[in-house]
Chains A and B, each alone.
Chain A
Amino acid sequence: MVGTLILWGCIIWMVPLMYVLLRNEAKWKKNIVVGATLPYEARQDPEVEEVLRRYRRQLGWSCLAMLALVVPCLFIPRFSVQFIVWSFWIILAMILPQIPFVLTNKALRRIKEERGWHKRSSARTVSDLTAAAIPMKWLSPWWFLPPLALSLVPLALDRELWALWLVDAALVVLCYAGYRWLFRLRAEVVDENTELTVALTRLRRYNWGKTWLWIAWATGFFNLGLCLTLEWFWGAMAVTLVYGVVVVVAAIGIEFRVRRAQERLTADSGKEFYVDEDDCWIWGMFYYNPYDKRLIVNNRTGVNTTFNMARRGAQIFMGAMALILLAMPLVGVWLMHEEAIPVELTVTETAVVARHSGTEYEVPLADIESAELLTERPESSRVAGTAMESVSKGRYKNDEWGRFTCCLDPRTEPWLLLRTTEGEIWLFGDSDSAATQAAYAAVEAAR
Chain B
Amino acid sequence: MLLKLDFDSEIPIYQQIRNQIVMGIAAGRLAPGERLPATRALAEDLGVNTMTVSKAYQQLRQEGYVASDRRTGVVVRQREGEPSPVPKETVEGLRLRLCELRLAGLGRAEILRLCEKLCDEEAG
Contacts and interface: CB of A to CB of B under 8 A. Distances in A.
B41 A185 contact: yes
B27 interface: no
B5 interface: yes
A126 B20 CA distance: 12
B74 to A, nearest CB: 9
A129 B1 contact: yes
B124 interface: no
Contact of A130 (B1, B21, B38, B44): B1
Interface in A239-277: none
Interface stretch (A41-49, A225-233, A285-293, A398-406): A285-293
Given A129-B30, A129-B37, A293 B2 contact: no
A186 B45 contact: yes
A391 interface: no
B3 interface: yes
A293 B41 contact: no
A185 to B, nearest CB: 5
A195 B113 CA distance: 36
A273 to B, nearest CB: 8
Contacts of B42: 127, 129, 132
Interface string A117-128: 000000111111
Given A133-B35, A133-B36, A133-B37, A127 B6 contact: no
Contact of A192 (B2, B35, B45, B47): B2
Interface string B1-17: 11111111100000000
Given A132-B37, A189-B2, A127 B8 contact: no
Contacts of A128: 1-3
A187 interface: yes
B48 to A, nearest CB: 6
Contact of B47 (A130, A189, A293): A293
A133 B40 CA distance: 10
Interface string B29-58: 010001111100110111111000000000
Contacts of B44: 184-186, 294
A358 interface: no
A444 B23 CA distance: 97
A187 B6 contact: no
Given A186-B45, A292-B47, A294-B44, A124 B4 contact: yes
A116 interface: no
B1 A123 contact: no
Contacts of A189: 2
Contacts of A77: none
A185 B45 contact: yes
Contacts of A126: 2-5
A429 B9 CA distance: 76
A294 B47 contact: yes
B109 to A, nearest CB: 33
A292 to B, nearest CB: 4
A72 interface: no
Given A185-B41, A293-B49, A125 B5 contact: yes
16 contacts: A124-B6, A125-B4, A125-B5, A125-B47, A127-B5, A127-B46, A128-B2, A129-B1, A129-B42, A132-B42, A133-B36, A133-B73, A186-B47, A192-B2, A291-B47, A292-B47
Given A127-B2, A128-B3, A186-B44, 17 more contacts: A123-B6, A124-B4, A124-B6, A124-B7, A125-B7, A125-B46, A126-B2, A126-B3, A128-B2, A129-B1, A129-B3, A129-B21, A129-B24, A185-B44, A194-B1, A289-B47, A294-B44
Interface of B: 1-9, 21, 24, 30, 34-38, 41-42, 44-49, 73
